[in-house]
Amino acid sequence: MDAISVIRAKRDDQALTDAQIDWVIDAYTRGEVADEQMSALAMAILLNGMSRAEIARWTAAMIASGERMDFSPLSRPTADKHSTGGVGDKITLPLAPLVAACGAAVPQLSGRGLGHTGGTLDKLESIPGWRATLSNPRMMEILADSGAVICAAGDGLAPADKKLYALRDVTGTVESIPLIASSIMSKKIAEGTGSLVLDVKVGSGAFMKNLDDARELAATMVALGTDHGVRTTALLTDMSTPLGLTAGNALEVRESLHVLAGGGPKDVVELTLALAREMLDAAGLSDADPEKALADGSAMDQWRRMISAQGGDPDAPLPLAREQHMVPAPTDGTLTRLDAYAVGLAAWRLGAGRARKEDPVQAGAGVELHAKPGEEVVEGQPLLTLHTDTPERFDTALAALEGAYEVGTPTARPSSIVLDRVD
């Protein structure tokens, strides 16, 4: 077997054999296949695609490159959620303890933000003392005790994907649906969860800009999960407007606490409950009532146990940015548009995100929304508040927001944040 023959096969739009896929993933992980060779293969996959059988085998080969976790000793059924990323997407924070409060175990392996999309671990690290890195035995202990854990994936899970993702990021091949799907699902399947719910974002603030592409990605990932014995469903959800009223790290933690306390923005509550019901149904706990667990405080109790178990102080004050800048409504009327991508870009420029994975983030930086599309505003009232420790960032953040919002006459809007379901 050699890399050139595998590259030529996919370049000529041939289906790769199981043996070719197994060999090239293993050889690349070991360093026998060079980066430039894997780059050529990734580009050929981007241009010519893969069959369902090829994607399933590619995913299996990436899983086989590392360890696979086993949660069978737990007394609870396991359920996990993955979001394809968006702006203000703090759903994991209230969702994990909520589902745990209803009887499932939630082993939530999460990541950090890059570019305009926020990262769950960055948000949680704004809580004093909280630690993202856990050993596998400690993760099992927390799951057995409190039922939910949110942490970083260990280096042993799908190392081939970690190496390939970094390569795709610099070679213009990130957009390949087979490679996106196998990247996400190799980690989730290796994680060992019994069921998985996918939140596939659609819109300007998401990776998938239109419903057809999002549906294709969702169907591909659901098929992968099914092929590997993981009960998998997907919700397609709107990301044309930021989720909730905040985009940032500590800002989103604060908003998540409002949800756990029984309040919070309507769209965040709606999506949290929709995903919770999907996860509980997939875990065989369809009789559980997540709405009741929010109302009676049991989800908040789970949150406090989960945060404390990872070294965090659930009672500590959250960081606040040193500087704020208010953006006023330009005129009277109805806010008809607030672009998610622009808000995410502004939050990133304020210091809430990073351009490179090693860059630091500001815990208090971000954007606070005072109105959502469909709501009435009055000229001069606060529309957005920008938060940062470094006021020299305000100008570039304001530039990102130019043309990002419109005030005018009311327009029809989707009645639900959930646009479709794939199973």
- Residue 168 appears among annotated catalytic residues: yes
Residue 253 phi, psi dihedral angles, 5° rounding: -60, -45
Phi-psi region of 262 (alpha: psi -120 to 50; beta: other; left: phi over 0): left
Contact (Cβ atoms closer than 8 angstroms) between residue 199 and residue 84:
yes
> Which of 112, 116, 187, 277 is flagged as catalytic?
187
- Residue 161 appears among annotated catalytic residues: yes
> Which of 122, 161, 199, 227 is flagged as catalytic?
161
Q: How far apart (Å, rounded) are the C-alpha atoms in residues 362 and 397?
A: 15
Contact (Cβ atoms closer than 8 angstroms) between residue 218 and residue 198:
yes
Enter the DSSP assignment of 286. T
Residue 129 phi, psi dihedral angles, 5° rounding: 90, -15
- Structure token digits, residue 233: 């469903």
Within 10 angstroms of residue 409's Cβ, the number of other Cβ atoms is 7
Of 17, 148, 163, the C-alpha closest to 78 is 148
> Which of 10, 123, 162, 168 is flagged as catalytic?
168
- Residue 82 appears among annotated catalytic residues: yes
Query: What is the sign, positive or negative, of the torsion defined by CA atoms of 54, 201, 171, 168?
Result: negative
E strands, 40-101, in order = 80-83
Residues near 220 by beta carbon (within 8 Å), at least 6 away in sequence = 52, 55, 177, 178, 181
Q: How far apart (Å, rounded) are the C-alpha atoms in residues 190 and 185?
A: 8
Enter the DSSP assignment of 78. B
> Which of 110, 183, 204, 256 is flagged as catalytic?
183
Amino acid at 20: Q
- Residue 126 appears among annotated catalytic residues: no
Residues near 366 by beta carbon (within 8 Å), at least 6 away in sequence = 246, 247, 248, 249, 250, 251, 252, 321, 347, 350, 352, 387
Alpha-helix residue ranges (DSSP H) falling in 199-353:
211-227, 250-260, 266-282, 290-295, 298-309, 340-347
Active-site residue set: 82, 161, 168, 183, 187
